[in-house]
Amino acid sequence: MQIYLPIADIPVNVFLVLTMGLAVGFVSGMFGIGGGFLMTPLLIFIGVQPGVAVASVTTHVAASSLSGAIAYWRRNALDSTLALTLLAGGIVGSACGVALFTWLRALDQLDLVIGLSYVTLLSVVGVLMVGEGVRAIIRSRQGKPVELRRPGSHVWFHGLPLKVRFKRSKVYVSAIPVLAIGFIIGFVGAIMGIGGGFLLVPMLIYLVRVPTATVIGTSMVLTFLTMLSATVLHAATNHLVDAVLALILMVGGVIGAQFGAHAGQRIRGEWLRLFLGLLVFLVGLRFAFDLVLRPEDLYSIRLIGGAP
C-alpha cells in the first residue's frame, strides 16, 4: 500500500516503513538507544531526502524512547537524578555543537566531517564494546564471577569534588564527569544528528560504573528529552519534519521498543553489550566503505535554494 508523504514529497510503501520502524524500535528498546543512527541511513536509502529523514527521525525517536522509558520506570529501572544531571551538560554541549555545525557548513566541509565522525566514532566504540563483551563472556565461561562493579578500581576522576549520590544507580561520584559526559553526548549529537544513546550507555557503564540495570532506562529518558526538543527546533527552523512519515515510524517503533525492552531484560548484560558493539561496528564499517571505495558515480546532484 503506497502513501504519499506530504513534506518528503515522495510516495512510500506503508508496510515497508512500518517494518523498518518495528525493527529499529526493537533494537532501540533492547539496547536503550534511540536508533537514529540506524533509521536515518535506512530512510535515505529508500529515497527520503536527508534533511527530512534526520528531522522526522527525531520525532520517531522521541516517541520510541518515551514508551521505552515508561516501561523501565515501571520496573523502577531508571535513575532520574542521573538523567537530569546528564541533561544539564547535554544542553550546553548541544549549543556548542550547533555553533561548530554552522561554522563547518560555512567552510563547505560539513558532509566530510559528518562522514568521518560516523566512521571514527562508530568503529572505535564498536571495537571497544565487542572487545569488552568478549572478555566478559570468556571470564564467565571460565567460571570466574562477572565483575560488573570493581569497587577497588578507582579512576582518577573519582577523586574530583562535588560528589553526588545517585541513589537508584548505587553510585557516589563527582558530578563533573557526569556533566562532561552529558556535554559530549549533546555536542556529538548536534553534529551527527543522533541521540547518542549508543555512546552514552558504554560511557556510563565503563566510566561512571552505573549498573546495567539502570543505565538503559536512564539513557532512554535523556534521549527522549533531547529528541523531543530537537523535533520542535527542526520543525520551527527547517520545516522538514514529515509528521505522516514520523507517525508511521512511531507506530512501528513503539511496538518494537516494547518487545525489545522485554527481550533486553532477559539477555545477559555482557551478551547485550557484545551485540550492540557488533551492530555499532557494522554501521561504522558501512560508512567507511562509502568513504574509501570508489563510488559508482563520481558525480552527484543536490537541489539548492529552498524546498521543492
Interface residue list for another protein (CB under 8 A): 2-4, 6-7, 9-11, 47, 59-60, 62-67, 70-71, 74, 111-112, 116, 224, 228, 231-237, 239, 241, 243-244, 246-247, 250-251, 254-255, 257-258, 262, 290-295, 297-305, 308
CA distance 283 to 277: 10
Closer Cβ to another protein, 168 or 234, answer by number:
234
Cβ at position 211, least distance to another protein in Å:
21
Cβ at position 232, least distance to another protein in Å:
4
Closer Cβ to another protein, 52 or 130, answer by number:
52
Ramachandran angles phi, psi of 168, nearest 5°:
-65, -35
Closer Cβ to another protein, 119 or 184, answer by number:
119
Neighbouring C-beta atoms of residue 269, cutoff 10 Å = 18
In this structure, the chain runs to a length of: 308
Cβ at position 12, least distance to another protein in Å:
10
Cβ at position 217, least distance to another protein in Å:
12
Closer Cβ to another protein, 65 or 218, answer by number:
65
146: helix, strand or coil:
coil
* Strand-pair partners of 251: none
Helix axes of 110-141 and 269-292: crossing angle, nearest 10 degrees? 150
Cβ at position 302, least distance to another protein in Å:
5
* Strand-pair partners of 12: 3
CA distance 36 to 197: 9
Closer Cβ to another protein, 20 or 208, answer by number:
20
Sign of CA dihedral 26, 30, 34, 35: negative
